[in-house]
Chain A
Amino acid sequence: MASSQHVLLSPAELSYLHSSLSLTPPLRPDGRSPTQYRPLSAETGILPGTNGSARICFADGTEAIVGVKAEVEKTKRRWDDDTIFSENNHHQQQQQQQQQQQEGEEENEGRNNNDEEGGSSDWVELTVEIPGYRDDDSGTVFLGQMLSEALLADGGFVKRLRINRRFHWKLFLDILLISPPLSYPLPLLSLTTHLALLATRLPKLKSEGDEDPFFDDDWAAAPYLYARDPATKRVAERPPVTLLVMAVGGNIIFDPSKEELAVADVVLAVSVGDDAQGKGEDRMDVDGSNPGRNLKLLSIRTVDPPSRLTPPGVANAANSAYGHAQVVNTGANQKMPEARQTESEAVEGVWKPPRGGAKAVVMGALVQKVLVRGGVADEVLDALEGVDTS
């Protein structure tokens, strides 16, 4: 779904929205504070047929479901080391012997292949389905790419999917929006994906080393994809979240609704991860008063603001239907009313769609506002931590 889908708002509404959002503090149409999210209800583990699932609803009835399924897949070898394994395959009957040989090799190769353990981004397949939009719609594709980009950005995620040198998990993330989108669904989809990944469990591996994997039947023993700290039951590292943030008239607004997006100067989607490194000691000493997380910036995308496609307003002075002057179109400028409208300079109370881009400083401020310690990204992650994902 494109963010720039046709927004049908009248120029008078747009002008009102723009001026109310430009006040300090901004007045949002639904009365939220600039950093406030719409209230939402969340649950996880709703689909027993998946490895992990989550559901989030907004009060307006917008609802998203994410199901995560995993399959074992053979890892494609690179040309330079597949000799070892083809040999292994040919001599299945001598597995015992081979095994030993292999262990020896592993020791040798261990250092050389260190970087190779990263895995590949093909191991994750993420699809987004939005009712009323084709799945190859460029906007839907954009959403899917944005979400998978955040997930794969640091390469840490795919490492979790590695089983051994020959096999890996292939993870299918299916993101479904249940209701037609009433606003740009990015924050909703991102939060739901986050929770679904937290709730994802993969069967416990019983085999060892590089033999064909087989797993424990007991689902209760299955470990989480994102491991819990056994002592605190806390998730040590967390999947990324993508926040939608926009700027209008000097104000920065989070989780904008459709009406707010229609007057935005610039809209950014910022993906943020929680850096697990070094957080341990932070957490230890001040468990109650959280000093903030070590966030990391994973991706930024500019979302095309629909404001550029809104209809311009007509100032009373230029409006032929205004006033009780007899309507006669004698003036030359009446022949091309549209051209005339665009050239009129800004009049207070008349909507004019923005032109051009945004200053790099403004974009920097948006990103900074997301990332600042104890800021919105922090609080969103804290709130997500409060959701029961077991």
Chain B
Amino acid sequence: MPITILPPKFSHPPPPPQDISDSDSDLSSDDGGAHLDFASLGLPNRKPNPANNPLFTNLVTPGTLITPDPQWMRGHGTYIPPHTTHITSSLAGIITRTNKLISVSPLRARYTPEVGDLVVGRIVEVQAKRWRVDVGSVQLASLPLSAINLPGGILRKRTETDELQIRTFFAEGDLVVAEVQQLFQDGGAVLHTRSLKYGKLRNGLFAAVSGVGGGSGVVRSRRQVWTMEGQNGGGKMDVILGVNGYVWISKHVEQVAKELEQKHMGITNMEENVSAGVYSSQNDPIDSDTMREITRLRGVVTALVENGCRVDEDMVIRGYAEACEMAMLSETGPEDIYLGGQRGEELTRALRGN
């Protein structure tokens, strides 16, 4: 069947009835104001009332009074109205407390860069001495020419020639993996690719899963980059989960070891060797089995996001194993890589069940 048309479904189940009655009684005790109960208690993360849905306990909307107590410090997502000490929420989100700092993290927002984040970005503009990179954030990030490893050794001085040839390193549309080096006041980030693991991306597929929020999507975790074994005859695959929600899945290339072997060079020259391929836009030959597994893995990532799961190393690896199992059980065997719609729901249900 090439097409499935379903009746529309509710994206969020309606809240259970006891919640409504509970909030009703709260409101009736007040004089009609939309006043939240826990705010008056002063402590932002008090023990949740068991009758309440714990998910909604710390949920605030813009203008909600979080605490009148001046001992707390206001963080992101809050403000203090003039002539008061009341910390008030300015976002719809969940209250988080770090020591004395109260902040509200929004339910759904664009990526906010932080120093040290590993991001995948797309070059959208080439300027005289820098690139402007889309990282799914409020502002375009910038990647200065001085923050990349130039071919022919890292310790070379940047010349005007390099400036003129800036498009030979990265051009519009190219995907890069980079690290956030520095932040501007306006939220803009400065990136760098001064490491072996950063640079131009090739041999694979891209998936953007940013801006979903609500606990799904890519979360900051211990490992954002890993190599995993492909099933069904596929080779090794590299997965890069950019903190910004841009994901890159590609064939694993043993470039470092191979080149070292070929050229019999020492570890000191490694940097130089690796940079040989770093600005290439030519794909290596990829066998169809690996391509299939890369596509399957991309399907796992998009299915996780579509069904509101978080995307991290553990989930992706488990999801991939589950997807392979599902494929084995289906009629077409491992050739079956479709994970959209109901198949994706099945997959995430199986993962949640574990």
A and B touch in the complex (CB under 8 A): yes
In contact, A323 and B276 (Cβ under 8 angstroms): yes
Partner-contacting stretch, out of A3-11, A69-77, A168-176: A3-11
Taking the closest CB of chain A, its distance from the CB of B300, in whole angstroms, is 10
Asked if A29 meets B298 with Cβ closer than 8 Å, knowing A39-B341, A329-B165, the reply is yes
- Is the Cβ of A41 less than 8 Å from the Cβ of B5? yes
Q: How far is the CB of B257 from chain A (nearest CB, A)?
A: 17
Residue among A30, A42, A57, A315 facing the most chain B CB atoms (10 A cut-off): A30
A157 at the interface (CB under 8 A from B): no
Q: A8, B172: Cβ atoms under 8 Å? A: yes
What's the nearest-Cβ distance from chain B to residue A326, in Å?
Answer: 5
A16 close to B205 (CB less than 8 A) = yes
Contacts of B285 in A (CB 8 A): 348-349
Residue B202 at the A interface, CB < 8 A? yes
Nearest A residue to B9 via CB reads A41
Query: How far is the CB of A180 from the nearest CB of chain B, in Å?
Result: 13
Whether the Cβ atoms of B124 and A8 lie closer than 8 Å is yes
CA separation between A381 and B168, bound complex, in Å?
A: 49
Interface stretch (choices A19-27, A122-130, A268-276, A298-306): A19-27
Complex contacts, B192 vs chain A, CB 8 Å = none
Check if A12 sits within 8 Å of B151, measured CB to CB: no
Q: Which residues of A contact B201 (CB under 8 A)?
A: 10, 12
- Does the CB pair B5–A12 fall under 8 Å? no
On chain A, the residues within 8 Å of B64 by CB distance are none
Q: Which of B162, B206, B280 contacts A13 (CB 8 A)?
A: B206
Among A134-142, A214-222, A280-288, A382-390, the stretch that binds chain B is A382-390
Question: How many angstroms from the CA of A351 to the CA of B203 in the assembled complex?
Answer: 12
Q: Is B17 an interface residue (CB 8 A)?
A: no
B151 lies within 8 A of A29 (CB): no
The residues of A that contact B205 with a CB separation of less than 8 Å are: 13, 16-17, 29
* Range, interface on chain A: 35 or more
Bound-complex Cα distance A174 to B265 (A)? 67
Contact (A33, B292) CB under 8 Å given A324-B273, A329-B165: no
Are the C-beta atoms of A42 and B7 separated by less than 8 Å?
yes
The answer to whether A149 has its CB under 8 Å from any CB of chain B is no
Asked whether, in the complex, the Cβ of A41 is within 8 Å of the Cβ of B282, the reply is no
Q: Take A27-B292, A33-B338, A322-B151 as given contacts and tell me if A16 and B6 are in contact as well, using a CB distance cutoff of 8 Å.
A: no
In contact, B280 and A322 (Cβ under 8 angstroms): yes
Contact of B5 among A25, A323, A350, A384 (CB under 8 A): A384
Question: A26 → chain B, closest Cβ, in Å?
Answer: 10
Distance in angstroms from B212 CB to nearest chain A CB is: 10
A347 touching B282 in the complex, CB below 8 Å, given contacts A32-B338, A42-B5, A321-B169: yes
Which residues from A are CB-within-8-Å of B171? 311
Q: Which residues of A contact B162 (CB under 8 A)?
A: 327
CA distance A12 to B284 in the complex (A): 10
Contacts of B6 in A (CB 8 A): 39-42
Q: Could you tell me the distance between the alpha carbons of A310 and B171 in the complex, rounded to whole angstroms?
A: 12
Q: In the assembled complex, which residues on chain B have CB atoms less than 8 Å from the CB atom of A17?
A: 205
Q: Which residues of B contact A30 (CB under 8 A)?
A: 298-299, 302, 338, 340
Q: How many angstroms between the C-alpha atoms of A241 and B150 in the bound complex?
A: 54
- Shortest distance from the beta carbon of A128 to any chain B beta carbon, whole Å: 22
CB contact under 8 A between A314 and B9, given known A10-B174, A337-B168? no
Nearest CB on A from B200, distance (A): 7
Q: Is B34 an interface residue (CB 8 A)?
A: no
> From residue A6, how far is it (CB to closest CB) to chain B in Å?
9
Other A-B pairs, 18, CB within 8 Å; known A15-B281, A324-B276: A10-B201, A12-B174, A12-B200, A12-B283, A16-B286, A17-B205, A20-B291, A29-B298, A32-B340, A37-B3, A41-B8, A57-B8, A254-B2, A311-B171, A311-B173, A320-B168, A322-B279, A380-B3
- B interface residues with partner A (beta carbon < 8 Å): 1-9, 122, 124, 150-153, 161-162, 165, 167-169, 171-175, 200-206, 272-273, 275-277, 279-286, 288, 291-292, 295-296, 298-299, 302, 306, 335, 337-342
Pull 28 A–B residue pairs with CB atoms less than 8 Å apart, ordered by A.
Answer: A8-B122, A9-B206, A10-B173, A12-B175, A13-B175, A15-B283, A28-B295, A29-B295, A31-B337, A31-B338, A32-B338, A37-B3, A38-B340, A39-B340, A40-B5, A41-B8, A42-B8, A43-B7, A254-B2, A310-B173, A314-B282, A316-B277, A319-B279, A323-B151, A324-B273, A327-B150, A327-B165, A349-B283
- Listed from nearest, the 5 A-B pairs whose CB atoms lie closest are A39-B341, A12-B202, A349-B283, A321-B279, A37-B3
